[in-house]
Amino acid sequence: MRESRKFIFIVLALIFLIIGGTLGYLFLLGVSFIDALYMTIITISTVGYQEVAEMTDASKLFSIFLILWGLGIAGYAFTSIVAMFFEGEFRKAWRKRKMESKIAQLKDHYILCGAGETGHTVIERFMESKEVFVVVEKDEEKVKELEREGVLAILGDATHEEVLSQARIENAKGLITSLSNDADNVFTVLTAREMNKDIYIVSRAIEKSAGIKLKKAGANNSISPNEIGGRRMAAIVLRPSIVSFLDVITKAGDIELDLEDVVVGKGSILAGKTLREAKVPERTGLMIIAIRRKDERKFLFNPSSEKTLDLGDVMMVLGREEQVDKLKKLACDFS
pLDDT tops 80 at residue 257:
no
Question: For residues 93 and 17, which has the higher predicted lDDT (pLDDT)?
Answer: 17
For residue 72, being part of any structural domain is answered with yes
Instruction: In whole angstroms, give the CA distance from residue 188 to residue 161.
Output: 9
Percentage of residues of the chain with pLDDT beyond 90: 46
Helix or strand (DSSP H, E) at 123: helix 117-128
Average pLDDT, integer, range 211-235: 88
Whether residues 70 and 135 fall in one domain: no
Q: Give the range among 159-163, 240-244, 277-281 with minimum mean pLDDT.
A: 240-244
- Same structural domain for residues 112 and 224? yes
Mean pLDDT of 55-74: 83
How far is it, in rounded angstroms, from Cα 101 to Cα 103? Answer: 5
In order of 120, 192, 227, 320, 326, the CA distances from 109 in angstroms are 17, 14, 28, 23, 23
- pLDDT band per the 50, 70, 90 thresholds, residue 4: low
DSSP 217-261: HT-SEEE-HHHHHHHHHHHHHH-HHHHHHHHHHHEETTEE-EEEE
Number of domains in the chain: 3
Distance in angstroms (rounded) separating the CA atoms of residues 64 and 171: 69
Q: Is residue 237 part of a domain?
A: no
pLDDT at 254: 52
Calculate mean pLDDT across residues 272-280. 92
Q: What's the CA angle centered on 328, arms 123 and 168, to 5 degrees?
A: 40
CA atoms within 13 A on the CB side of 3: 11
Q: Which residue, of 51, 77, 101, is where some domain finishes?
A: 101
pLDDT at position 209 is 85
**Are residues 222 and 122 located together in one domain of the fold?**
yes
Query: What CATH number corresponds to the domain at position 318?
Result: 3.30.70.1450
- The answer to whether position 178 is within a domain reads yes
Q: How far apart are CA 292 and CA 303, in angstroms?
A: 10
| Range in 138-142, 279-283, 331-335 with the lowest mean pLDDT | 331-335
pLDDT at 179: 94
Phi, psi of 58 (to 5 degrees): -65, -45
- Residue 98 pLDDT level (bands cut at 50, 70, 90): confident
Can you list the positions of beta strands (E) in the chain? 110-113, 133-137, 153-155, 174-177, 200-204, 221-223, 251-252, 255-256, 258-263, 287-292, 300-301, 314-319
Q: Which helix (H) or strand (E) holds 281?
A: helix 280-284
Confidence of residue 38 (pLDDT cuts 50, 70, 90): confident
140 domain residue, yes or no: yes
Contact of 197 with 204, CB cutoff 8 Å: no
Dihedrals phi, psi of 226, to nearest 5 degrees? -65, -45
Question: Is residue 287 located within the same domain as residue 216?
Answer: no
- Overall average pLDDT of the 119-128 stretch: 92
Q: Are residues 181 and 203 in the same domain?
A: yes
- What domain range includes position 165? 106-229
Q: What is the pLDDT of residue 291?
A: 94
CATH number of the domain that 176 lies in? Answer: 3.40.50.720
Contact criterion met (CB below 8 Å) for 2 and 8: no
- Which domain CATH number covers 26? 1.10.287.70
Band of the pLDDT at 93, cuts 50, 70, 90? low
pLDDT for the residue numbered 298: 87
pLDDT in tens, 39-51: 888 888 777 677 7
Q: Is residue 237 pLDDT above 70, yes or no?
A: yes
49 falls within a domain? yes
Q: Are 198 and 174 in contact (CB under 8 A)?
A: no
Is pLDDT at 185 greater than 70 in this prediction?
yes
Same domain, 80 and 126: no
List residues bridging with 174 in a β-sheet: 110, 200
Please state the rounded mean pLDDT for residues 105-111: 94
| Average pLDDT over every residue of 237-261 | 69
